[in-house]
A and B are shown apart, each in its own frame.
Chain A
């Protein structure tokens, strides 16, 4: 499997944008400049970048609280995203949603849910709309291995296959459901085996391998767009840090974390780029540009006003109604 240079570069750029954003967020949190709940995606940057590189801008995305990588890879502007995380009036959601509820329909990000598994049934509805309207759009919903043990996952998988919906279930198997290791919450070896229970096509892929991940994403997108129905992709990756920033993660064996560093998608992707005749200088220049973009976005966010208190009465209903 090989990839054309444009696609590779696209995946690399999305991945590094996510990675540098995440570093910046963690440094802002560490220094106390930012105080908010933040779920790092360290270790999962590539999975989503390869998936989003296979989508069109107007395709739909539904993701979950650990979803900043999905939103950035889908194209949500960094200034609006960071302003939202920082609770500013200029954020995507006017500061009312925060990192767990990022919404940006202009880039197809329709829902970010803070409830594990709840995005899957909603993704079906977006896909059902596309099927009825014949608008050719594909819906992707991202979730972790922990979400596959809640009823919504099973109901949604069954309905998607029943209606042959143009939807892709992207399970980012990061080996932990919150603080519980995969083997302690699930007795099957692989999430992908569950696809068979619904007569659905399932693909297990190394989410840290750009070529394999893109190939799986591409095939699922093409199938969905061609009306051939949904796909469950189980992308293997590893959550290299705790459940949320600052949380205790002593339950993650340190030697295993050390071992999993060999799978880190970032150095692997860098090596792949060099193999494909990109120079380190070219790559560094891309990253430097991304860093400048992130710095500017942070500055925009921190210079933005906080929302007015009267916002709490707006957007409850279309019209403002006294309770």
Chain B
């Protein structure tokens, strides 16, 4: 027996923890929530066993456990899906609406914006809508203009909605449990390109609180603020720039609204420089709001203006070469960071 083998035999519990993909993490979180609370139900197109457990298999195996009354395959009727979830939520159930792709959420805007978001307020707090709207999207798979958009800024503008998006499987599990337990509507944005990402399984009953950003990588020169899939790009760029002697702190917002002002402000106060990055169209995006807040609060402490990076001002194109030109690129992110480093007052 070699020394290494001997060590492993002596400490069997030090084995690597089980890894799960984001799809498995989401499935497990919903499964645990359904086991814990009869009021948790899932409505969406193709979600039941008969249809294969969802286009991305997130609800795989759940019909067999909880039945077709709780895993409801729906017609292609986003308004009806959303309205049914709003109504069920008003009675204290905790419905999850699966809207296959984020662009299809636009078909249900009235139910989300005029009803889910406002009923607590307009009823003077007599009713509330504990609803999770799960949806997926993502640039980089060649789905084109109507299957790829990140529309989080639209919803962040509406009082009464919370918006969550995970960048890794463990967070997906913990955020989903918290979203289901939240007493207000939560829009839960998944990214198609992240479904296969693996994390160490955080175990059962794991929760990540809503409204708390994570420091994905510590640094001291520039704060790079992002969420969702672009966290991966941000971490890569941070690693590259470390080689140039630039120390980048990467903040993964995890919850876009409500915004974790304390964490972001503290980071930028420390570094004095900030870049906001998102996949959504740059113009009028959440980056504009975050940059503006940082300028309002830290104007005298900033060493450079806050930079923003986002998608181009066009529909997401289909051809791969165009799609790659559209999406925020790592070079752009690195250049924006260098710009803040070289800024002269």
Contact = CB atoms under 8 A, between A and B. Distances in A.
A132 B74 CA distance: 16
A129 B84 CA distance: 9
Interface string A126-144: 1111111100000100000
A196 B87 CA distance: 25
| Majority secondary structure of chain B interface residues (helix, strand, loop or mixed) | mixed
A323 B120 CA distance: 17
Nearest to B95: A125
A115 B114 contact: yes
Given A103-B123, A132-B69, A317-B120, A118 B83 contact: yes
Contacts of A314: 125
B74 A121 contact: no
A242 to B, nearest CB: 24
A158 to B, nearest CB: 6
Interface in B166-214: 183-184, 211
Contacts, number: 155
A220 to B, nearest CB: 18
Interface residues on A, range: 35 or more
B59 interface: no
A123 interface: yes
Contacts of B90: 110-111, 122, 125-126
B311 interface: no
Nearest to B261: A322
Interface string B243-265: 00000000000000010010000
Contact of A318 (B79, B84, B183): B183
Interface string B118-135: 011111111110000000
A123 B86 CA distance: 9
A96 B122 contact: yes
Contacts of B110: 115, 118, 152
Contact of A316 (B41, B75, B121, B126): B121
A124 B72 contact: no
A152 B80 contact: yes
Interface string B76-92: 01011011111111111
B329 interface: no
B79 A93 contact: no
A121 B125 contact: no
A92 interface: yes
B232 interface: no
B241 interface: no
Q: Which 9 pairs across A and B sit closest by C-beta, in order of nearness?
A: A125-B87, A121-B83, A94-B124, A103-B123, A155-B80, A93-B124, A155-B77, A125-B84, A129-B91
Given A115-B110, A317-B184, A321-B258, 17 more contacts: A95-B124, A103-B127, A105-B126, A110-B91, A113-B114, A113-B115, A115-B115, A118-B111, A121-B87, A124-B87, A127-B87, A159-B80, A315-B120, A315-B121, A316-B159, A317-B120, A323-B159
25 contacts: A60-B91, A97-B124, A110-B91, A110-B127, A111-B127, A115-B114, A118-B110, A118-B115, A121-B84, A122-B84, A123-B83, A125-B84, A125-B89, A125-B95, A126-B87, A132-B88, A155-B77, A155-B80, A156-B80, A159-B74, A159-B75, A315-B120, A315-B124, A317-B162, A321-B211
